Amino acid sequence: MSFPIHRANYRTLDPDFVGPVFVADIDRTYLMTRFSSLKGMARIPFERAEDKQDIEGMARLFREIRNGPAEATRDTPLYFVSASPRQLRPVIERKMQLDGIGFDGTTFKDWGMVAARMRWHRLKEQIGFKLTALLANRAALPPGAEEYLLGDDLENDPLTYCLYADMTAGRIRHDDVPRILGLGGVLPGDAVSIARDVRHLQRGRGVKRALIRLERHAEPEAFLDFAPGVVPCTGAFQMSIVLWRLGCISRAGIGRVASEMAHRNVPPARLSVRLADLVRRAIVDPDDAQALLDELVDKQLLAPLPGLPEVDERWARAQARGAERVWTPGRYLGD
């Protein structure tokens, strides 16, 4: 029996659709949901939309993702996944509407079914839940969908997204999936169900990138061996630059994200340092970064820098790895 989830799909894409599709986590990626304690979990079902606090810049970033790389919106498909109980769907969807975020579907953890089956481990277990949700969403997408995933580093999103990318691309054998998921704490029955879902899935264009919002880790080096598939980002501003480089949002959208963060009292100097960090990690070309820095300094959204850093050779080597490589680091595969 598979992990209990509850999906709502509000849009059916044309079978011939080809292009980017975004799937984003909600908790600690878009909203400041508290899962770190039983008290925090108990409070979640009683919060109103107005009580939900979004993370600075993320609502603006999702609007830019929806718009796409041109000034005329392309209505990019956007889906959300939350470990919150399904009863919170109206509240969270109302919050998205208040933030002006267009979306095409949401998937929630079915806490009621978890309780009914008395599998309490599932309330906080995230890998099995998230893989089940991602695979269910993928099964409803046309083969031409190219997935971009957004998450955070507080739970297991980096590992989950790597496993998902590798399983759907055939880089992990179907018959080895239960063993590997067991290493990550997924219950045996859930692991078998996930392996079955992967086996029946129509192979698509796969996952292009996974962006991870850093909160637990102060430095992106913790995810060096996940590159280039997983891109650790310090907040929405870095995410906006990465997505611009990937052709997913407009250059003007970066400025709008920076402006939103300025209104949320994020200092311009902090954003300048985050731009410089992307140069150091070989994600943004120094010339492009300098042009962007000059433009946003003129708008008083960034602070001047004495110079941009040299590229870190470790990151340069990591970024040069082929996209066809196994994304999941060997230590999670039992190697």
Predicted local confidence at residue 34, as pLDDT: 63
* pLDDT surpassing 80 at residue 35: no
Range with the lowest mean pLDDT among 209-213, 230-234, 318-322?
Answer: 318-322
pLDDT of residue 70: 86
Whether 197 shows a pLDDT value over 80: the answer reads: yes
Residue ranges covered by each domain of the chain: 5-332
Interval 317-321 mean pLDDT: 95
CB-hemisphere CA count at 13 Å for 133?
32
Residue 335 banded pLDDT, cuts 50, 70, 90? confident
Give pLDDT, residue 73: 67
Q: What is the pLDDT of residues 58-114, one digit of tens each?
A: 999 999 999 999 866 679 999 999 988 999 999 999 999 999 999 999 999 987 777
Q: Are 95 and 53 in contact (CB under 8 A)?
A: no
Which residues pair with residue 25 across a beta bridge? Answer: 81
Is residue 61 within 8 A of residue 87, CB to CB? The reply is: no
Instruction: Give Cα separations from 292 to 215, 216, 219 (angstroms).
Output: 25, 28, 23
For residue 204, name the pLDDT band (cuts at 50, 70, 90): confident
Token reading at 211: 């962006």
Are the C-beta atoms of residues 108 and 85 closer than 8 Å to each other? yes
pLDDT in tens, 272-289: 999 999 999 999 999 999
CA distances from 192 to 160, 162, 199 (A): 16, 18, 11
**Does residue 46 have a pLDDT over 80?**
no
Of the pLDDT bands very low, low, confident and very high (cuts 50, 70, 90), residue 47 is: low
**What's the pLDDT band for 41 if we cut at 50, 70, 90?**
very low
Q: Is the pLDDT of residue 303 over 70?
A: yes
Q: Which of 66, 72, 134 is nearest to 99 (CA)?
A: 66
The answer to whether the beta carbons of residues 106 and 95 sit under 8 Å apart is no
Beta strands in 201-267 (DSSP E): 207-213, 230-233
Residue-level pLDDT at 324? 82
H/E element holding 83?
Answer: strand 78-85
- Whether the pLDDT of residue 37 is over 70: the answer is no
**18-33 residue pLDDT tens:** 999 999 999 999 998 7
This prediction's pTM: 0.93
pLDDT at 177: 97
